[in-house]
Chains A and B, each alone.
Chain A
Amino acid sequence: MTNQQPLLQEITAFCRLLKQMGVNVTTTNQISFCRSVEIIDIGEQQDFYDTAKMNLIANESDRALFDTAFDWFWRYPRPDPQELGIDTDEEQVMSLENLFNAEETVVNLDQWTEMDDDKEEGEEDTIAYSAEKVLTQKDFGQFTAEEMQKAQEVIAKLVPLLATKLSRRKKTSTKGKTIDFRRSWRKNIAYGGEPLKLIRKRQKVKKNKILLLCDVSGSMDYYSTFLIQFIYGMQQALEEVEVAVFSTELTNITGLLRRKGLEEGLREVAQVVPDWSGGTRIGESIVAFNREFGRSFSAYRTVVILISDGWDRGEADILQKGMEVLHRQAYKLIWLNPLLGSEGYQPICRGIRTALPHVDYFLPAHNLDSLIQLTKVLTPIWSD
């Protein structure tokens, strides 16, 4: 801190930098950091670092980002301190982003919706005739940009319908056994405190949770984005949803989606996930998945939905072992496979053959119809 800018302004600039990098620093955090700085010895570099960290980040997963920013901002002589003044402009944001994402390809929704633009020109007319009908049966992989948008609208309409259906079914479950004293007492005041009517509390069933494990390797990213959107959208009925994506490595993106909202979150996922659209190592990813999420299985009735086409480059016995553990721990294991929609498809590729014995449901997921089918499978699971 050799420059003349007051510390407060430096701190504000630093918080801005973190925000631009996607760390959700609130004003309260910033104020709290400023107050903390007043009562520690900022000459102690380690204390200053610890203090900044505990005030400004709320996830261990943000730490790498924080460390990079911290090193760059506080420790080295910055290239030009003026640049990170209060008024950061577009250009700096860009250069900062380059700093952190230099080699990563940025794939965002907008880009890949345009990928198929040139193909399927003849399709346009049929769409105009009955867009929704045709759309429900068309493979996601063959969507044009326009159809993509349409399909998203359909999903947006579909989701609340399916969601209420799920939650309604749940309400008709069994009557409770324990007495709800609070409400019984209130009710019975009408009878002079005589406990004539007892109100029973419904035993809370073990909560359902969905863990989505999505393959985003080159062969799959197209479908996965759709499916994440679909299932994530049903959260209100599904209570608890966590999402992890993998191609060669596993990344938990639940926090990101929650922080940024679905749309922006998905757009950023591609930047956060190290190997979006790379090759596939299903086995290793499932083992990592078991390790990271395994502990949460016991607290919930967990339905694991695995979305993948089964093209695996990894070791078959790792996959075998991983699937076995996963199946044992999960309440139900569903494998959604977009290839199952194509005619004459036989699950012969090695990955799938190894994994199939451990799967409860093996379903297609290539068009909107198959998503509706998925809800039909989920409904009974939810209501028992």
Chain B
Amino acid sequence: MIESIEEVQETFVEQHYIADRALATTIYLAHHLKKPIFLEGEPGVGKTEVAKVLAGATGGNLIRLQCYEGLDVNSALYEWNYTKQILQLRIDEVQGMDKEQIGADLFSEEFLLKRPLLEAIQADGAAPPVLLIDEVDRSDSEFEAFLLEILSDFQITIPEIGTIRAKHIPYVVLTSNRTREIHEALKRRCLYQWIDYPSVEKEFAIVKTKLPHIDDMLAQQLCNLMRVFREGDYYKKPGVAETLDWGLALIALGKDGLDPAIVDETLGCIFKYQDDIQRARETGLDKMVDGARSDSEANDAEKADWRYMRG
């Protein structure tokens, strides 16, 4: 599926993901150069989704490592199954095993608990797995340093067992919401891609792909209004995830067009902070909704585009 940039784009559309050419190029190159991808951008622009779709498209397993404050090697890489080891010792003892034999194979793979990174390296399916290291910015810098080591040679040394090398170099996708700056050394190992909020046309295509039953007019108005909201000065701007949530809510309410009253009632789908909801109301929903509605008539011509993008 990754023989050309166009092919990547088409396969992604089959998986209901609209990838622009820059992102498709990144994936194409990541495949051929065996390099990790580093995706950065605001929350809700579909960074994590890229890994899921990539796994779906290549047929590889998706292995996910969610980062958090204090994530350590034991929960990211491997840990010994201590309870099982103790039980094994007891069994050996009860069975009256030779003194030398007792505990001889306690540190073998049988007693190893595999965590995501080891799992990704040991995977031996037909297709290489997709390793998603999500929200790297939440981990601490010690863990970043450790990742750097793993991502440069894809091998892990477990003192009791030896060195394990990856059978397939996995696809690696790292994501960051930029709650803090990630060290450049790590980013420079990867193909860096900034994911922005989609353009109105792209978002329309996304909405139509994800919610095929939505009315064209409604979808267009939705995307227009989203752009207006994103241009405003809000604490947390709505992402694509919010657009889809909102679309779903409007479908459930049986709407085929926007009006100020319905937007007001469903503002909770778009903004997650009371201050933002307040601000949206103060800015004047009537005017914004009117704008979105008149824009959608003007944009009718562009609708042909998304059909093309869907292939």
Contact = CB atoms under 8 A, between A and B. Distances in A.
A255 B188 contact: no
Interface string A175-214: 0000001101100000001010000000010110100000
Contacts, number: 107
A266 to B, nearest CB: 17
Given A59-B184, A60-B194, A258-B184, A295 B177 contact: yes
B32 interface: yes
A40 interface: yes
Nearest to B135: A299
A338 B180 CA distance: 29
Given A54-B26, A60-B194, A258 B33 contact: no
Interface stretch (A26-34, A85-93, A146-154): A26-34
A271 interface: no
A51 B181 CA distance: 23
* B74, B85, B181: most-surrounded residue (chain A CB, <10 A): B181
Interface in A25-63: 26, 28-29, 32, 35-36, 39-40, 46-47, 50-51, 53-55, 57-60, 63
A78 interface: no
B214 to A, nearest CB: 30
B188 A193 contact: no
A182 B180 contact: no
B184 A193 contact: no
A59 B176 CA distance: 12
B193 interface: yes
A169 interface: no
Interface residues of A, number: 46
* A204, A258, A295: most-surrounded residue (chain B CB, <10 A): A295
Contact of B235 (A57, A207, A255, A290): A290
A258 B179 contact: no
Interface in B176-216: 177-181, 183-184, 187-194
A291 interface: yes
A24 B188 contact: yes
Contact of A299 (B21, B80, B138): B138
B140 interface: yes
Interface residues of B, number: 45
B184 A54 contact: no
A60 B181 contact: no
Contact of A58 (B38, B103, B138): B38
Contacts of A240: 141, 180
A40 B275 CA distance: 47
Contacts of B69: 204, 206-207, 299-300
A173 interface: no
Contacts of A369: none
A296 interface: yes
Interface string A295-322: 1100110000000000000000000000
A322 B74 CA distance: 41
Given A59-B192, A204-B69, A299-B180, 14 more contacts: A24-B184, A35-B33, A36-B33, A39-B28, A47-B21, A51-B29, A60-B40, A60-B194, A181-B82, A185-B82, A193-B89, A207-B69, A254-B181, A259-B184
14 contacts: A28-B188, A32-B33, A32-B35, A47-B5, A51-B25, A55-B192, A58-B188, A193-B86, A209-B180, A242-B180, A255-B184, A258-B181, A287-B233, A290-B235
